[in-house]
């Protein structure tokens, strides 16, 4: 794994200022990335220190009152929540286990759509202002060159793919902005499942391939 969320993104994640979708994308990356996990722990500690050192006017009486009100709360009769289990998804007759952070949204995953049996996508209906999709690319497939309007973040969940800039493997997190043209591809024997978050439709810049023709000028993978 060699592509990670930027430091600023991790900082925002720790401070809780990221939007929900970006936050859960980062959370999924953290599940498989000890490097960023370490960074987040460090940032959390810094954040905690800042909080601890911040001047407050809370007196001990306030604390007692707070404690009293906590113990006065009705006891929660709900059983402890079972730890989130990884859930499977099936695409192109293959079964993949979803990361735990994603598994809790498994009931929000829509129908898989096949693009010529080579690219498959399923929306995850969790956000209004951006498109969240699972995308599966079968082996040995090249997606026509395109640019993005807006931003696209991609998190590789299984397998890998390449584009003009490099090769990406499970756990890699990349963000492309509108100015970057790229044509992702998988090699023979390599397929790829990823999570994509798009703020605007993609626009193909290179003679739109037949495979994608029917979807007009923009498509969500
Ligand atoms: Zn990382």
**pLDDT at position 173, please?**
93
| Ligand 1 centroid distance, CA of 28 (Å) | 10
Q: How far is the CA of 140 from the centre of ligand 1 (A)?
A: 27
pLDDT of residue 214: 40
User: What is the structure's pLDDT at 216?
Assistant: 38
201 Cβ contact list (under 8 Å, min separation 6): 149, 217, 218, 219, 220
For domain 87-213, give the CATH superfamily.
Answer: Jelly Rolls (2.60.120.10)
CA of 26 to the centre of ligand 1 (A): 9
C-alpha 175 – ligand 1 centre gap (Å): 13
Instruction: List per-residue pLDDT tens for the chain, 221 residues long.
Output: 889 998 888 988 988 888 878 888 899 999 989 999 999 999 999 888 887 887 666 666 677 777 777 777 776 665 555 557 889 999 999 999 999 888 888 899 999 999 888 999 999 988 877 889 999 999 999 988 776 677 788 999 999 999 988 999 999 998 887 667 778 899 999 999 999 988 765 555 554 444 443 443 344 44
Q: How far apart are CA 36 and CA 5, in angstroms?
A: 8
Q: Give 132-187 as a 3 state SS string.
A: EEEEEECCCCECCCEEECCCEEEEEEEEEEEECCEEEECCCEEEECCCCCECCECC
Give the distance (Å) from ligand 1 centre to CA of residue 32. 8
Q: Could you tell me the pTM of the whole model?
A: 0.73
Ligand 1 centroid to Cα of residue 91, in Å, is 26
Instruction: Provide the residue ranges of all domains of the chain, joining segments of one domain with +.
Output: 87-213
pLDDT at position 82 is 55
pLDDT of residue 211: 44
CA of 7 to the centre of ligand 1 (A): 10
Residue 56 confidence (pLDDT) = 66
């Amino acid at each position: 794994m060699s592509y990670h969320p930027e430091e600023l993104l991790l900082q925002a994640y720790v401070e809780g200022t990221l939007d929900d979708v970006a936050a859960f994308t980062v959370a999924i990356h953290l599940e498989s990335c000890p490097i960023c996990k370490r960074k987040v722990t460090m940032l959390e500690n810094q954040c905690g220190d800042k909080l601890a050192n911040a001047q407050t006017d809370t007196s001990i009486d306030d604390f007692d009152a707070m404690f009293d009100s906590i113990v006065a709360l009705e006891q929660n009769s709900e059983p402890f929540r079972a730890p989130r289990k990884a859930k499977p998804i099936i695409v192109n007759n293959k079964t993949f286990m979803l990361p735990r952070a994603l598994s809790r949204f498994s009931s929000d995953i829509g129908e898989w759509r096949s693009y010529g049996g080579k690219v498959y996508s399923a929306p995850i209906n969790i956000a209004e202002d951006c498109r969240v999709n699972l995308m599966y690319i079968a082996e040995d497939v090249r997606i026509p060159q395109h640019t993005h309007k807006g931003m696209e973040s991609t998190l590789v969940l299984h397998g890998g793919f390449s584009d003009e800039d490099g090769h990406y493997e499970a756990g890699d997190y990349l963000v492309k902005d509108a100015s970057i043209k790229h044509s992702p591809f998988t090699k023979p024997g390599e397929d790829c499942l990823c999570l994509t978050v798009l703020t605007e439709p993609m626009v193909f810049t290179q003679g739109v391939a037949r495979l994608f023709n029917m979807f007009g000028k923009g498509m969500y993978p």
